Chains A and B, each alone.
Chain A
């Protein structure tokens, strides 16, 4: 099955700096790559996703890039703010799989210091 590796496990940045989280996947059939944010004590929520026919996608201060050849994708957060502090999970799946099965990375604890 698919294996998703996520790095780093913890990341501390100063407010206003950029943060980058990287993930690799093993199954070349994977074609959907979402990112979920989980604030302390809260449920994971989708913040951005990308499909394999696109190389980059942006939504205000967050962006995701995908390199299918190298099988890796990254989350970029610019102008970080304290409310960006949370655990971020990358995931992968392929459309042929069942709807609810995502293969998650182990998460990155992002701390933004004011």
Chain B
């Protein structure tokens, strides 16, 4: 089966710009969550969507936002980019009718802010 797909894989932006990242979950998965990964910080939770509704949000500023579409695909947006936003952004999907706990990650979108 197809895994979680994230696009774009790599992108370079400058400070002040905005960026939109896309995530296509595993077919049938209804939950999509986003994580920011930076060296030494591990994976920090951004937000989670389930059935087009944001269910939970981490401790990130309002510049970070997201949404989920009726086909479970999700996008996240970062506005007014800062140097510190450079990171690997990981999307993970889960839930096909029962809670197993396992998250299935995509390969990430690596954002570099210059």
- Residues of A whose CB lies within 8 Å of any CB of B are 6, 9, 32, 34, 42-46, 49, 89, 93, 95, 97-107
Contacts of A93 in B (CB 8 A): 101
Contacts of B50 in A (CB 8 A): 98-100
Contacts A100-B31, A104-B43: A45 and B105 contacting too (C-beta < 8 A)? Answer: yes
In the complex, what distance in Å separates the CA atom of A32 from the CA atom of B100? 10
Contacts of B103 in A (CB 8 A): 34, 44, 46, 100, 102
12 additional A-B pairs beyond A34-B101, A102-B103, A106-B40, beta carbons within 8 Å, are A34-B102, A34-B103, A42-B107, A44-B105, A98-B31, A98-B48, A99-B31, A99-B50, A99-B95, A103-B45, A105-B42, A106-B41
Q: In whole Å, how far is B37's beta carbon from the nearest beta carbon of chain A?
A: 8
Chain B's interface size range is 20 to 34
Q: In whole Å, how far is B44's beta carbon from the nearest beta carbon of chain A?
A: 8
Dominant SS among interface residues on chain A: loop
In the complex, what distance in Å separates the CA atom of A46 from the CA atom of B40? 20
Contacts of B93 in A (CB 8 A): 100
Q: Evaluate contact between B42 and A100: CB separation under 8 angstroms.
A: no
Contacts of B48 in A (CB 8 A): 98-101
In the complex, what distance in Å separates the CA atom of A98 from the CA atom of B46? 13
Contacts of A106 in B (CB 8 A): 40-42
Contacts A100-B33, A100-B103: A43 and B42 contacting too (C-beta < 8 A)? Answer: no
B15 sits at the interface (CB 8 A) = no
Contacts of A6 in B (CB 8 A): 42
Q: Evaluate contact between B45 and A43: CB separation under 8 angstroms.
A: no
In the complex, what distance in Å separates the CA atom of A85 from the CA atom of B45? 25
Q: Evaluate contact between A95 and B99: CB separation under 8 angstroms.
A: yes
Q: In whole Å, how far is A84's beta carbon from the nearest beta carbon of chain B?
A: 19
Contacts of B101 in A (CB 8 A): 32, 34, 49, 93
